[in-house]
Structure 1
């Protein structure tokens, strides 16, 4: 079994020669802008087996957490959409999701850190618990379509409530597939939000 232990509170990541992982942002344009600022390094997509290895490491880590918390759940590791995915299914898992997915986001970051410690590379791992992300994606698609209708009807930008990076990405995907409107994120975490506006 791989070492996916949680770092102790007194254990500095710098002592191990690693750097903290920055949370991925929600649009490709923003990611490309960040890379341009960092000197425009070339993108290289990880191989499928590397991505699956990342999902295995994360699954081992999540399994350890479930054991500590005495939660039962089946864990599936896979690669989907060019990124590693770990899905946890079972009864009584709502506490692992938390209010509006806050606990799930924190667990995802811990799992990404476990992958980083094993591989030395940042991961775009997606963690889902109890199908929360799939359900939330459907809800956000409805929110996005409603915002688009209002923008088209009134011709004014609509600012949505603050959302996580995952939630913003879901909204951007829906809005960007509809002609006549565009979306962008504004603000700073945790108050970063999507703005939907008409295309000039």
Structure 2
């Protein structure tokens, strides 16, 4: 068969199944994603992925077509043999054009990229469902900082409630988003939730606080302990304090109650 459909849990699995079944390599076929598949919400609405593999390798196409060709009648063979040279040239041109078109089709890497974008969209929809279930009206847009860091920007008239005290609600939602995405895609991708540029404002607040408390630690000679905060917020403070001489910083406690300590040397 020159083309065949395959179904599996993910696009990648369906492609792998098809390549093995048809005994071909990726550069010998065109891959069409019929259905990217859905993880579903808590398993509800789950749908497998479906792909179509179409042989484009000219030699392989000829080999796969030989059994059918052998069934042609002698009259049909004679008709084929009576094509003039102009028609043969036209067929060659069409084949060359077909090959050129097939080469420009998306690669498996591009298919995977599109699949990942769909999973990120699914993660955004999941978080919006959680926020709406909390009783808040909100919308969101996805911003791709790079291939491994994604920011979901939320907009709402109730931003302060979604942020919570010192960002506790927003941080909890971010943990949910990260865990949800990690269940869909086993790759190193950071999911960050932001609303009204809160993350940048929080970063400035933490940096100023760290600088002020470093002065206190040096002046009193006593360690200064901060309240528990997420790892990425402690990292912000570590980075700004690493530029200051005569002090050292370290973390104590266990998550989620781990906190930063500044101490004069």
State the TM-score bracket (shorter-chain normalisation).
Answer: 0.5 to 0.7
Structure 2 partner of 1:60:
125
* 1:35-77 Cα shifts (integer Å, max 9, x gaps): xxxxxxxxxxxxx999867654432333343455451334232
Structure 1 partner of 2:208:
142
Structure 2 unaligned residues grouped into runs of 5+: 1-36, 45-112
Structure 2 partner of 1:185:
251
3-state secondary structure, aligned to 2:125: helix
Change (3 A) 1:118 1:134: same
Higher strand share: 2
Structure 2 partner of 1:14:
none
How much has 1:2 moved relative to structure 2?
5.2
3-state secondary structure, aligned to 1:125: strand
CA distance in 1, matches of 2:167, 2:208: 18
Change (3 A) 1:161 1:123: same
- By relative contact order (CA 8 Å, sep 6+), the higher-ranking structure is 1
Change (3 A) 1:55 1:149: farther
RMSD: 3.3
Q: Are 1:180 and 1:198, in contact at CA under 8 Å, matched by a contact in 2? A: yes
* 1:111-132 Cα shifts (integer Å, max 9, x gaps): 1122112113464322122322
Q: Within 5 Å, which residues of 2 pair with 1:30-109?
A: 55-68=120-133, 69=135, 71-79=137-145, 83-109=149-175
Change (3 A) 1:63 1:190: closer
Structure 1 unaligned residues grouped into runs of 5+: 9-47
Change (3 A) 1:70 1:136: closer
Q: Would you say 1:158 and 2:158 are equivalent positions?
A: no
CA distance in 1, matches of 2:136, 2:227: 35
Q: Would you say 1:5 and 2:71 are equivalent positions?
A: no
Q: Are 2:148 and 2:190, in contact at CA under 8 Å, matched by a contact in 1? A: no
